[in-house]
Amino acid sequence: MSLIIFMGISFLNAQERVPEVEELLKKMTLEEKIGQLNLLTPGGGVATGSVVSEDVETKIKEGNVGGVFGVSSPEKVRQAQKLAVENSRLGIPLLIGSDVIHGYKTTFPIPLGLSSSWDMDLIKETAQIAAKEATADGINWNFSPMVDIARDPRWGRIAEGAGEDPYLGSQVAKAMVEGYQGDDFTAPNTMIATVKHLALYGASEAGRDYNSVDMSKIKMFNEYLPPYKAAVDAGVASAMTSFNDIHGVPASGNKWLITDLFRERWGFEGFVVSDYTSVNEMIAHGMGDLQDVSALAINAGLDMDMVGEGFTTLKKSVEEGKVSEEQITKAARRILEAKHKLGLLDDPYLYSDESRPEKDILSEENRAVARKAAKRSFVLLKKHENTLPLAKDAKIALVGPLANNKNNMLGTWAPTGNPQLSVPVMEGIKNVAPNAEISYAKGANISNDTTFAKNVNVFGPRIEISEETPEAMIEEALQVSKDADVIVAVVGEATEMSGEAASRTNLNIPDSQKKLIRELVKTGKPVVLILMSGRPLVISEEMEMPVSILQVWHPGVEAGNAIADVLFGDYNPSGKLTATWPRNVGQIPIYYRMKTTGRPAASPSEFQKFKSNYLDVENTPQLPFGYGLSYTNFEYGETKASSDKLSENGSITITTTVTNTGDFDGEEVVQLYTHDKVRSITPPMKELKAFKKISLKKGETKEVSFELTAEDLKFYNADLEFVVEPGEFEFFVAGSSDHEFTNEFTVEE
């Protein structure tokens, strides 16, 4: 038998078939094959569109449903499977899907936060726990990971990905796929992962969700596609198409994307599902009526239609010669092979063990990992004097609309989590520092704009506007601050200010909170800003203030405990930014891998006419990719290469030393960047090629080495060939991308 092997998971190649699946296909009518291609929801979960499927039970019994989502618990999943297995003609079980984006009931930090840990083992562990919990509740198919590269923080879904860099994004994609799927699909605690959104969704124009994408193939292959390819190489068993168009054709009907690239060039052997009603939405794109767009999708290689039920037109398209039955058979085969891989054809009730939820979901062990993941995701953006860490017996004025707020701890896209089980900041401080004296005031609303609040509060109360006047709230905050040693202000975004359909043009901290911060600073007391958000914000004003700033994203179910761990020094923050923070919205898109121009700016901070710069602000970002401070300090020694020449089949070792010169034990993310000085297509100014997260005791020095090969330097040229070209390369090793190159080597012919 011929197999394709990815990370221990076997996939039958196109010449090999599963006997059980082939026997089923022989028995199936055209209508039953089409039925396997329909994914419906009874509306029990969070819908991301206006459509909810009707009469799902009857459709399951008639064999017209291949999978459902919005159904959970062993009992309900058993009922759904029983409808399919015992009432339909062929008794084919269902795929049970769900959006398990950053944890199931145990909610971890948002993915952008998790990526800021730069800890792939930890990210993999969070995915393993998510799979364990979701499968305990009957779910066998996960609509995650989202691997879209995003360089425009106006786009709310930047919160769901790993940021701006294709190399780091690829490492995160691999870790999450391996975490969800494990090495045995038939194990009761693993599930099918879905890489999404295929493709380029993070580059939507103007940062507006669902918008068009227009991009050259060179940019696609070098900058945006690598994480999807990494997921395929890791053995991901499912993919989801995106809402945007590519080369003028919407992704769900794009044959070049689904078949030519994903299947034929990359060798993907799993199945492809549309995003929520994206097949139907091709009508609005201008691609024809429902029958037209459904035929376009199936002929492009799409296997399953999420919610829209446009594939019910396929029988008519077959009769009219617009679609071949063989194309429908191919799609049905892929769905049935996925069910075979999961073991559902042998045991439809594999995921219906009623003893599992109590022991596997929201356990103390799982919450401990959530706490660890949260504190490792935090990024110290600014430290002022010696304010942090705080003494555990300090008098603390705790203020801000997010300081004692459970509704905004989990973050966007946490539909399976319960906000009321989260630990708010005030509770966490009391848990970690019971001897601290805390005085609390809300101080401000997240926003005073009632229309904005209404738009945000679609899934429940995220922005609650107090009956008190804004002035009275600030005055109360100033009163509780009078006798405090330090003011801790918890500010930023509500959870649904980022995420899907949450694009923003103003990335400042809302005015209501900015006014509070200004007044707190005027007191002259030490101020710590705990900043929550699902995206990079514009904080140029706050960075100029005499304050310390700790970015905590939306930390998940253990939010308050993790924040307190870092505030009081039980854990020294070690996170690094995975997306660049702009000085203002006008700089967007801004990212570290930008290319130079023929007229590069002479100085990043000095304006010069007829050079590539702005009249009103310097080119540099507020905070660069890879940036993050610590309570301690790290000093880098001399960087050396084992050779100044690299052959096609050889390698060089790049070595540096890192010393902890401060007063605390800590962790540092050591980063290697290169620059191809001359290339057949214009190169980026810098490219991340490797990183290691190391721990250093106070005063300790460690040697850090990276092995670099010619393979690591490859790129897609103008003919989309994956090549390395001979020539000179620069490199440096540092704690962020914001450094000059220090060394060179040559790649030999």
Catalytic residues: 275
CA 8 to chain centroid, in Å, comes to: 24
Closest CA to 93 of 307, 346, 355, 354: 346
DSSP letter, residue 224: I
735, burial (CB in 10 Å: exposed 0-12, middle 13-18, buried 19+): buried
Asked if residues 373 and 118 have their Cβ atoms less than 8 Å apart, the reply is: no
- In whole angstroms, give the CA distance from residue 308 to residue 294: 10
Asked if residues 528 and 507 have their Cβ atoms less than 8 Å apart, the reply is: no
Q: Which helix (H) or strand (E) holds 646?
A: strand 645-646
The DSSP code sequence of 254-296 is -HIIIIIIIIIIT---SEEE--TTTTTTHHHHTS-SHHHHHHH
Q: Which helix (H) or strand (E) holds 226?
A: helix 226-233
Closest CA to 446 of 456, 431, 433, 458: 456
| Partners of 39 in beta bridges | 67, 306
Cα-based distances in Å from 493 to 412, 462, 518, 539, 740: 11, 9, 18, 13, 34
Q: Residue 575 — φ and ψ, nearest 5°? A: -70, 155
Beta strand 687-696 with 743-747 is: unpaired
DSSP letter, residue 724: -
Q: Which helix (H) or strand (E) holds 342?
A: helix 325-342
Asked if residues 307 and 49 have their Cβ atoms less than 8 Å apart, the reply is: yes
Residues in the chain, how many? Answer: 749
